[in-house]
Structures are given as C-alpha cells and as structure tokens.
Amino acid sequence: MLGSKRRLGIAALLVLALVAAACGSSSKKSSSGGGATTTTASAAKPTGAPIKIGVLTSITGPSVHFPDVPQGAQAAADAINAAGGVKDPAGGPNRPIEIVACDDAFDPNQAASCARKAVADKELAMVGNVSPHGDVYAPIMYAAGIPLVGIQANAAAESLNELSFPMQGGSVVSLLSNVAFLAKQGVKKLTVEHIQNAAADFLVAQMKKRAEALGMTVANDVLVPADAADMTSYAARFTSNGADGAVMVEPSDRVAKLITALNQGGVSLEKFKMSGQLNPGDLKKLGAAANGFYGSDAAFPVDYTANPGIKQFVKEYSALKNAADPSTFALQAWVAVHVIAETLIPKMTTIDSASLVSTMKTIGPIARPEWTPFDWSQPVEAIPGLKLRSFSLKLLYSKAENGKFTPVTSGFTQYL
C-alpha cells in the first residue's frame, strides 16, 4: 500500500537497484528508544537559526506525483516548532525545523539542481525522498557529506552508500516476506505475477526459491507487460494449475486492476489468498472486491488511528491546509523528521550533518508504535550476500475489508 497516484513508471523503481554489486557496512551497536511524541501548541516560538531539512520528490511532471511526501515532513516540523522547537546542544535559543521541499519534476537535471541547492543551503539531511533519479542526485549529496534519512531507496546510489539511512527493509524484504506470509496462511500452490523488468526477474527468481524452501509449488509465472491495459487474460491465469494464492511484483494501481479482473471472473480473495502493495485510495475504490486481500507494509495503515503513532500523525497532518491524501510515503517523511528532532539531535553535541551521521551509526534500535523497528547500526540481509542498506526484516500485514485495512497482528513480525 505504499505510495499514491503511482503509474507504470514507478514499477521499475521498486526494484531498480536490487541486482547492483553488493557492498556492506557494520558498526558498533548501542541501544536507544523512540516513540510517538506528544506536542502542544502553547510553547514559546523557537527563535534560533532554522535547522534546514530537505525533501526531494516528484511533485509535478509527466509521470508519478508525490505531493504528500513534503507535506508529511512539514506536518512533523509544524508540530515540533509549535511545541517549542529543538533544543540546541551548543546552547542558545531553541531552533525551528525548516522543511525545504524541492520538486524534481521527474527530470534528472532538476533532481541534480535540487541536490546542488540543498548543498548550498547547508541542509542537515534529506528525508523521505521518493525519486527515480537517485543515481543523479544522491552522489551530489554524499560528496557534501549530507545523509539521506528515511528515504525510499530506488536506485543503486540510494541502496548501497553508507550515507543512505532507510528506515525499513525495502522491496527485497517485502516481496520475500509476502511469500512466507502466504505459506503461513496455508497456500500450497503459488502464482507469481510480475511486470516485465530485468530487476523484477531477479526478484521473482528469489521469490521462487523462497517458495520452494517453504514447501510451496510455484504453479504459475504470470508476466504482465508494462503497457498492458486489459488485465482480464492475465488474471484468468492466476488460478490455473490448482494455484490457491498469489504474490505480485506490481505498484498499487496495477494490483487494483488485477483484483478488479479477478473479482469480475468470480474469484474470491477470501479463498484465493493474495498479498502485495495496495494504497488506501485504491483500496477504497475497490471496496468489497478486495475483501480478503493482504497488504504488507513497514507501517500501520495511515488511517488506523487505534495505533497511537498513527493517531498523532493524523492529527498533525490534518492541521495542514489543502494537503493531499497521505500515503505511507508521507508517514515515512513524518517519522524521519520526528526521529531526527526527538531521538537523534538530543544525542548530538553539535547540529551538523557529520554529527547526525555519527549518531545514526551508533544510536542502536529505534522503535516507534507506527513504524517497523529499525537499527541503523545493524544492516540486515534478506538474501545472503546482497548487502543493501536495509535495516529491518519486520513487516505488518493487514487484511482488506470493505475498503479499509485492518492489521492481522498487533505488531510488526519477521517472516524471513
């Protein structure tokens, strides 16, 4: 369910860097905690120098748009500033968080321009980035020593460099966990559906290996061209050869089309088990047609206010004027800003990028109610030898019912 308004172009981005040459890092582990923070609007206004935090994503352009990402970061900054800002460890007045959003317009030249501006502005970090041009902008940031925090790592430069600090396991963890999750639901014969993409082919091969190791039979390999408009014939193959479940390497909008085609063909997802990525907007449109579908994510659903962290997110995000519907990408940026301001900076002696990087490497486990627990000092390997910047093996699975997701477990679970 990650993302909103994703179209075909984003599908390749989900797996773009996952076959890159591996490199790794390790550092000493320490322990710390984090969590949802209550804020008030009654504190004195922070008057110190602003702490600039950047967000780079495609807000406009010919393809995918993510206006909610900088809005998620801004919602966190507004709440932190309203509560008095950030205490400066060097002394002096409290400092406000200033979010600097830059639109790459799905253009590599614009992405590079955004990075150069971030360097010139001496941003502390970039957070929540969702861009197809990581291999363009990220090296510019790294050369200046500016880290990427809580980003959606889509490119090799975002997935392998030690200045990249995602807060989740990424696509490899998600897709392999989907296979393991369906095995626990009793699926014996699996359909693997995927877009035609070289990196996706690599992931599919790994998913098949995982299925076989779990005693499942891969009954069908359904390859759907990127330009396919009518999903009827592809959906009809899902249940052939006795298959009783399916996983998909697809973005949300294409998953929704396949679910619609399955529903029209009389397939009930309460009986035929399926798992994948489906955002709240697409799920709401599907309604009862998606009942029984299992969504996987690094966070609780963004409208699941029974979770205290999501309740806080909804409150802070709702305070924005004319904001887009939030996705997990928006939540990710929101979490990153809160973690920097409330968990990391209090451990730093000076507020600069080098100190931030050093603190992230040694802070130890970070646990929040709304987000999968992660530890930047301990990269994890979902596939042995593939050393990506991946920091959590845990996911939350939710079941669709009448247009909404409800978690099937009380917390995040490791399936690998």
H or E element in which residue 194 lies: strand 189-195
Provide the CATH number for the domain formed by 171-297+398-414 in this structure.
3.40.50.2300
Tokens representing 354 are: 């080098």
Structure tokens at 317: 């995000």
What DSSP assignment string belongs to 96-127? Answer: -EEEEEEE-TT-HHHHHHHHHHHHHTT-SEEE
**Sign of the CA dihedral running 408, 169, 358, 26:** positive
Sign of CA dihedral 267, 297, 70, 125: negative
**Residue 388 token pair:** 């990506």
Distance CA 295, CA 92 (A): 47
Q: Please give the distance of CA 125 from its chain centroid, rounded to a whole number.
A: 18
Q: Tens of pLDDT along the chain (416 residues)?
A: 333 333 333 333 444 333 322 222 233 333 344 444 444 455 899 999 999 999 999 998 776 688 999 999 999 999 999 999 999 999 999 999 999 999 999 999 999 999 999 999 999 999 999 998 999 999 999 999 999 999 988 888 998 999 999 999 988 899 999 999 999 999 999 999 987 666 677 888 899 999 999 999 999 999 998 888 899 999 999 999 999 999 998 888 889 999 999 999 999 999 999 999 888 889 999 999 999 999 999 999 999 999 999 999 999 999 999 999 999 999 999 999 999 999 999 999 999 999 999 999 999 999 999 999 999 999 998 888 888 899 999 999 999 999 999 999 989 999 99
User: Has this prediction a pTM greater than 0.95?
Assistant: no
Nearest to 388 by CA among 178, 198, 180, 176: 176
Q: How much is the mean pLDDT over the chain?
A: 88
- List, in sequence order, the alpha helices (H) in 230-344: 232-235, 252-264, 280-286, 308-318, 328-339
pLDDT tens readout for residues 306-330: 999 999 999 999 999 999 999 999 9
Topology of domain 9-170+304-379, per CATH? Rossmann fold (3.40.50)
Asked if domains 9-170+304-379 and 171-297+398-414 share a fold, the reply is yes
Compute the distance between CA of residue 188 and CA of residue 358 in angstroms, rounded to an integer.
46
Per-residue pLDDT reduced to its tens digit, 185-197: 999 999 999 876 6
Does residue 302 sit in helix, strand or coil?
coil
Domain range list for the chain? 9-170+304-379, 171-297+398-414
